[in-house]
Structure 1
Amino acid sequence: MKKIYLFFTTSLILLLLTSSPAMAADFGTAWTPRMEAADTALKNAMQTLAVTPGTPGFMVLTNAGYGQADGASTEPFLDVIAMATGRTPGTRTLLLVNTSCAEPLWFSVFRKDNMAAVFVKLDRDGFESQRLNLAPESLFQPEGWTEAGKGLIGNRLFSVASISLAWAEDAPWPMLKGAELHDHFCPGLNAGFIAKAYLDRNLPLGPGDAYVFVGAPPICAMDALQSAFGATMGKHGAYSMLVPDKAAKLADGGAAPVLIAMRVNKQKDVCDGVFLGFDWAKSESFTGVTSADRSPSGGKSNPLFYISRVKMSWKLAQMDMNDKLICIKDLGRFDGPSALAAKVASAGADPYAAALTK
């Protein structure tokens, strides 16, 4: 009987929390006029997309908790989002993009079936919104990308489009978490998660083990590995250095070195390492994106620069990891005492040579 009473009491509290902002405020942060405005803006976005909290197949992407509103941090807006939309991290429908704390608060509500989105951003006059068509057949055309980027979303289009389209293809949660940290999905981030899958199978962690990574040269893959393994710079788990000429000598066919991965066990005093290469040509053949697409004339001023990256990530998200693993190549192994990891990580001139001269 007590269990039944507890169940109904808990259910009533949850109902009260989610039924109105005014009542919810009694249990947490008092709602401000700005939070009320955010609630209204989110509900208007949902109305535009014809979704309700009970509608499946839509998500919210936001920098709430990282960005700012009226000079203050924005973590209370996470509750506003949850109550207005019913989206939560636990259901993989609320993703938090790590932006600068100086960036204004924004939300993107995205509907999976028709690839429509509404982008909402806070400015001096309140919340403004822009409807977007993120369907690949439109977005992957230079004119479609340019037109979308002219509006309120601006250069945030890369983040919103790349993460939303990968989410629509059911990208695994660890990859979505990596995209949150990196603030967008791109081929380099994908390379990091493919490298993770390789390590899981070929250099797995055991009791007392930890990875130390050296990105040489530094690329986006490092953020994927930091996110997946908690191997951050502050914890001496990740390092990056620009040594492209030194790394080139290890290239094998189309596989160019992207990182050094070391499995370290200080208690056993051992370090096992591997040089990992990534075959960009193979990944491009899977996706129909060429190196010329990724390096168009005009660089970042050319919409193709971003379109190629979003398209490539979207295509890779549709593939089975077993198929993507052929892009990773083992370019050499080394081993030594646990101190070898620190030696390689501090060898700014040539970490590859340091690994081989233990």
Structure 2
Amino acid sequence: MQADGNALNKSLSEFKALGSDKIFSKISKAKVDIDYLKDHTDEGNATFNKAAFNGNEFSLVGISNVWSRNATFDFIEEACFHDHLCPGVTSGYLLAKYVEEKLPINNVSTESYKVIACPNWCKDDLLQMRWDATPGKSGMFVMALTDLEKNALTEKYKTGVAGIYIRWNDTAKQGDALVLGYNFSAKSNWTGPSWGSKLASDVELMDYYSEPETFVSTIKEFKVDSNVLAQLQNAGMNPLKVAGVM
């Protein structure tokens, strides 16, 4: 629904008296369940190709599909922060679940997660919301890799390097770190129009919310002190070289 600007200028009593056709300049309805759309691609084509939701089709359809399948509130909130749901955001959820199992926070007053997002992708927006690991609070440091570097690392470790994750104790000034890999090899069974591929993957990945190890693996574990942390965060250093995996 798109609000009509004229309606918003009315007094409260006038506004209450308006019908929905006067409050909204556009009201769009569509069946968007991905299982339904598999058998009714003509309806999906109309929704996506004719911008039924003013260009917000991918965002609304993706989030509504996992919402209707009882995705947790925190996951939906994190996807909304990213503006849409995609397999990249879901990878962040699986990475977070894996880290929380391997390196649980035992004392919230002294411990927190730090992320060396190298390489960066959609996962990092989810991690900012889930762990409050934002760049402004020195909880996340984002660095890119070239395609050549990413391909070489994938060839070496048989999985895509997904960054460095640290459980940091700010009182002891030390922590535990994991270099993690994420395997994007899972393929959707979707065979229809291109608009459905990522949406179908999002739904299929829900089956693995409690099994992050299906896609996430540990490439290296190591201890971190203040000196090593500074090197990992420094703009002049390659954190993967500091960690000894590149």
| TM-score bracket for this pair, using the shorter chain length | 0.7 to 0.9
Separation in 2, partners of 1:193, 1:164: 17
Separation in 2, partners of 1:38, 1:279: 55
Per-residue CA deviations over 1:73-92 (Å, capped at 9, x if unaligned) read xxxxxxxxxxxxxxxxxxxx
In angstroms, what is the RMSD of aligned CA positions?
2.9
**AA paired with 2:241?**
A
Are the equivalent residues in 1 in contact too, given 2:97–2:212 (CA < 8 A)? no
Separation in 2, partners of 1:324, 1:186: 16
2:79 alignment partner, SS class: helix
Separation in 1, partners of 2:53, 2:17: 17
Q: 1:229 aligns with which of 131, 136, 140?
A: 131
Q: Provide the residue aligned with 2:26 in structure 1.
A: 128
Q: 1:218 aligns with which of 103, 110, 120?
A: 120
Separation in 1, partners of 2:89, 2:170: 29
1:177 alignment partner, SS class: helix
1:131 alignment partner, SS class: coil
Q: Which runs of 5+ in 1 are unaligned?
A: 1-30, 45-121, 294-301
Q: 1:146 aligns with which of 28, 41, 45?
A: 45
Report deviation, 1:232: 0.9
**1:4-43 counterparts in 2 under 5 A?**
33=10, 36=15, 40-41=19-20
Report deviation, 1:347: 4.0
Report deviation, 1:308: 1.1
1:133 alignment partner, SS class: coil
Separation in 1, partners of 2:47, 2:229: 46
Separation in 2, partners of 1:170, 1:239: 32
Report deviation, 1:216: 1.6
Sequence identity percentage: 21
Report deviation, 1:271: 2.7
Residues 330 and 268 of structure 1, relative CA distance in 2, 3 Å threshold: same
Q: Provide the residue aligned with 2:178 in structure 1.
A: 274
**AA paired with 2:162?**
V
Separation in 2, partners of 1:347, 1:353: 13
**AA paired with 1:261?**
Y
Q: Which runs of 5+ in 2 are unaligned?
A: 1-7
1:155 alignment partner, SS class: coil
Residues 324 and 263 of structure 1, relative CA distance in 2, 3 Å threshold: closer
**1:199-218 counterparts in 2 under 5 A?**
199-207=99-107, 208-218=110-120
**1:235-254 counterparts in 2 under 5 A?**
235-244=137-146, 245-251=148-154, 254=158
Length-normalised TM-score, structure 1: 0.57
Q: Provide the residue aligned with 1:179 in structure 2.
A: 79
Separation in 1, partners of 2:11, 2:160: 50
Report deviation, 1:343: 2.0
Separation in 2, partners of 1:271, 1:261: 10
Are the equivalent residues in 2 in contact too, given 1:254–1:280 (CA < 8 A)? no
Q: Which has the larger radius of gyration?
A: 1
Q: 2:203 aligns with which of 300, 306, 314?
A: 314
Residues 320 and 256 of structure 1, relative CA distance in 2, 3 Å threshold: closer
Answer yes or no: is 1:356 the counterpart of 2:232. no
Residues 350 and 37 of structure 1, relative CA distance in 2, 3 Å threshold: farther
Report deviation, 1:253: 5.5
Count of aligned pairs: 229
Report deviation, 1:146: 2.8
Separation in 1, partners of 2:230, 2:193: 41
Separation in 2, partners of 1:330, 1:168: 33
Separation in 1, partners of 2:173, 2:234: 18
Length-normalised TM-score, structure 2: 0.81
Report deviation, 1:136: 1.9
Separation in 2, partners of 1:38, 1:213: 52
Q: Provide the residue aligned with 2:4 in structure 1.
A: none
* Structure number with higher relative contact order (C-alpha < 8 Å, ≥ 6 residues apart): 2
Are the equivalent residues in 2 in contact too, given 1:186–1:310 (CA < 8 A)? yes
Report deviation, 1:39: 8.0
Per-residue CA deviations over 1:222-244 (Å, capped at 9, x if unaligned) read 11111110111111111222114
Q: 1:336 aligns with which of 209, 224, 230?
A: 224
